[in-house]
Amino acid sequence: MIDKKKQITVAIDGLGGDRGIGTVIGAMRFALALYPNLRLLVFGNNELLEGIEKQKIDSSRYVFYKNSLMVPQDASVKDVMSVYLNSSMAQAIQSVMNKEADAVVSNGGTGPLVCLARHFLKQNTPYHPALAARMPTGPNSCSLMLDLGANAETQEKDLLGFAKLGAIAYQAQFNATNPTVALLNVGTEQGKGSKVIQRARELIVEDKTINFTGFIEANSIFRGNVDVIVSDGFTGNIALKAAEGVASLFANASGIRKFFARMARPDWLLPWQFNGSILLGVNGIVIKSHASAGNEALAVAMVEAARYSQSSIIEDLNKAFN
Amino acid sequence: MIDKKKQITVAIDGLGGDRGIGTVIGAMRFALALYPNLRLLVFGNNELLEGIEKQKIDSSRYVFYKNSLMVPQDASVKDVMSVYLNSSMAQAIQSVMNKEADAVVSNGGTGPLVCLARHFLKQNTPYHPALAARMPTGPNSCSLMLDLGANAETQEKDLLGFAKLGAIAYQAQFNATNPTVALLNVGTEQGKGSKVIQRARELIVEDKTINFTGFIEANSIFRGNVDVIVSDGFTGNIALKAAEGVASLFANASGIRKFFARMARPDWLLPWQFNGSILLGVNGIVIKSHASAGNEALAVAMVEAARYSQSSIIEDLNKAFN
């Protein structure tokens, strides 16, 4: 839980998402109302500033930095590193580097975010950074799954790294010891899967710091059998989106079915409650929100940033690897 | 639609699934009741035969072949090719090779099934065989997705092959011309995904026989934007299981929620209606059922086998590649 006395400063990239400035403003209101100790640094354009002022958000709760350079969702690494080093996303990340903010939230593209976070904050482990998010598994429980798309190519050494990063993050956020770790695969039997998966299993089994329970299938992601689920970034991203696709078949039912769908959904399965994945493996807290996140969902990502800011995640990673 | 006059013979591996012989018998009753022109060749043990006789299934509708050698779900290729060449699964496949049956259905392991099908029936295209299944997208519509797990490793040439196999199968089963084909990826923008995906895209774009529409994300699998969805076998399998996992969170609600979940589910989204994937790329119709399929679901796989038997799928593949 967040210590509501200690002030937390979260930087917001105000230009990243698909839904425009209204969502950023709505999310700010939600997050500030929920957490009286939260302070925001907002990087965005004039339009956003005018919107915030019009909505009469308490000006002692935020600092606004004018920046109208938006990074396109699919900007290439080359473009990011030449054209967008002064973008709203870049400056928001830099505020973490300069210790002006405790964490940064962006709903911009994954590629640019990973690229800029590595550039400004630097890696703090020998492994590729990975995106990790909570997967709901029950009324008061969740698993942590990674990588959800920070890496397009993944080798066995990366999967070993994700297992270590995930276990440390789970411990830091949930105050747990020795979390269980499983590897996402097409079957649970030892011989299943690709060569990379087979070799990753061997590396993880050899590493005695990891409490490895074996393979897990994708239909068990939401069952809570394990604390940390490790996947390559390509498969993890697709598994999560396939799950969201089915959930939305129910959520987007129309007419009377919409009512039934709401009644049927387990209380704990509110998709927007689980927005916000953390980029593990860079020296600072970086939270990626869905580009399509609405007000509540983006606010949840801000809260996720505040939560991680009050955890020992960065110290723990630095201690483990440096 | 099935021509109810022409007799169709479907071979059943009676020992493959997780649910025991009761499911096989239940499925036989369903399938035979639905299709008066269906005849079954059943390969199984004494216990199964006794069960069938006790249930008084019309003995003119099936032929029983005694075989008590069951292939374990996770048998290795080496074991399959040495110990299990006379198993119930092997003999059921051989009945298609010998033209005694029009198609074969098994709910045994994917690895053994692909291995034995390739051994007895031989490949009929230059590409790796792939498992393809219908994905429900609306009251009277579905997409065809492949590969769902026949291959653990996939290169760009394989993805090109899946695109061709899938398009031909879609045409044959749905009597459509020039079906649209998309490649499953982590984003829709051209630069997204792994190197294999990037190179596969180039190969598919170059092939003018394929009506390629670009990348598709996993949350769109059930939206019906495209006729054929191409994926590597590892990701396809995991995407499908992730989707099933979420669907079962709703389906397995208890108490009053169970009622609401039933009411909320779109009419067309009955999971058991979509059991049965076809192994495309071998010279005979091979249908893989879920190992955990119940009576209705296994019957649906038998019907799927009958449906494909009445299509031109095998001739079309042979014509396209030989």
CB pairs under 8 A between A and B: 145
Looking at residue B251, what is its pLDDT? 63
Quick one: what percent of chain B has pLDDT higher than 70? 91
- How many whole angstroms separate alpha carbon A311 and alpha carbon A313? 6
Label residue B260 by pLDDT band (50, 70, 90).
low
Is A187 within 8 Å of chain B by CB?
yes
Q: Do A191 and B76 touch (CB under 8 A)?
A: yes
Looking at residue B273, what is its pLDDT? 62
User: Residue B219: which of A222, A241, A266 has the nearest Cβ?
Assistant: A241
Give residue-wise pLDDT tens across range A146-203.
999 999 999 999 999 999 999 999 999 998 999 999 999 999 988 899 999 999 999 9
Q: Do A219 and B193 touch (CB under 8 A)?
A: no
Is A77 within 8 Å of chain B by CB?
no
Using an 8 Å CB-CB cutoff, list chain B residues near A220: 245
Ranking A117-126, A305-314, B207-216, B292-301 by mean pLDDT, the lowest is: B292-301
Nearest-Cα distance to chain A for B259, in Å, is 8
Q: Do B242 and A249 touch (CB under 8 A)?
A: no
CA dihedral of B219, B222, B223, B225, whole degrees rounded to 10:
100
C-alpha to C-alpha distances, B79 to B75, B83, B112, B230, nearest whole angstrom? 6, 5, 9, 31
DSSP secondary-structure letter at A18? S
The better pLDDT of the pair B100, B271 is held by B100
User: Nearest to residue A299, comparing CAs of A31, A8, A52?
Assistant: A31
* Percent of chain A that is helix, strand, coil (3-state, to 5): 45, 20, 35
Give residue-wise pLDDT tens across range B10-66.
999 999 878 888 999 999 999 999 888 999 999 999 999 999 999 989 999 999 999
Looking at residue A4, what is its pLDDT? 60
- How many whole angstroms separate alpha carbon B168 and alpha carbon B176? 10
User: Residue B257: which of A186, A250, A264 has the nearest Cβ?
Assistant: A264
C-alpha to C-alpha distances, B130 to A47, A59, B78, B159, B170, nearest whole angstrom? 52, 60, 21, 10, 14
Looking at residue B203, what is its pLDDT? 98
Is B141 within 8 Å of chain A by CB?
no
- Maximal CA-CA distance, chain A: 61
| Number of Cβ atoms within 10 Å of the Cβ of B77 | 14
- How many whole angstroms separate alpha carbon A230 and alpha carbon A233? 9
Q: What angle do CA B120, B122, B126 make, to 5 degrees?
A: 165
Q: Is the pLDDT of residue B1 over 60?
A: no
Is B77 within 8 Å of chain A by CB?
no
Q: Averaged over B232-256, what is the pLDDT?
A: 81
| Number of Cβ atoms within 10 Å of the Cβ of B154 | 24
Is B291 within 8 Å of chain A by CB?
no
User: Nearest to residue A264, comparing CAs of B82, B255, B62?
Assistant: B255
Q: Is the pLDDT of residue B270 over 80?
A: no
**Chain A residues 5-64 with a CB less than 8 Å from chain B:** none
CB A281 within 8 A of CB A313: no
- How many whole angstroms separate alpha carbon B105 and alpha carbon B145? 19
C-alpha to C-alpha distances, A39 to A50, A68, A276, A288, nearest whole angstrom? 19, 21, 18, 19
Q: Averaged over B92-113, what is the pLDDT?
A: 97
Q: Which regions of chain A are under pLDDT 70?
A: 1-4, 250-273
Is B322 within 8 Å of chain A by CB?
no
User: Residue B243: which of A149, A195, A243 has the nearest Cβ?
Assistant: A243
Mean pLDDT of chain B: 91
CB A90 within 8 A of CB A109: no
Residue B292: both structure tokens together? 């955990």
Q: Which residue has the tokens 């690229």?
A: A115
Q: Is the peptide bond before B102 cis (omega within 30 degrees of 0)?
A: no
User: Residue A264: which of B245, B248, B261 has the nearest Cβ?
Assistant: B261
Residue B207: both structure tokens together? 């092939």
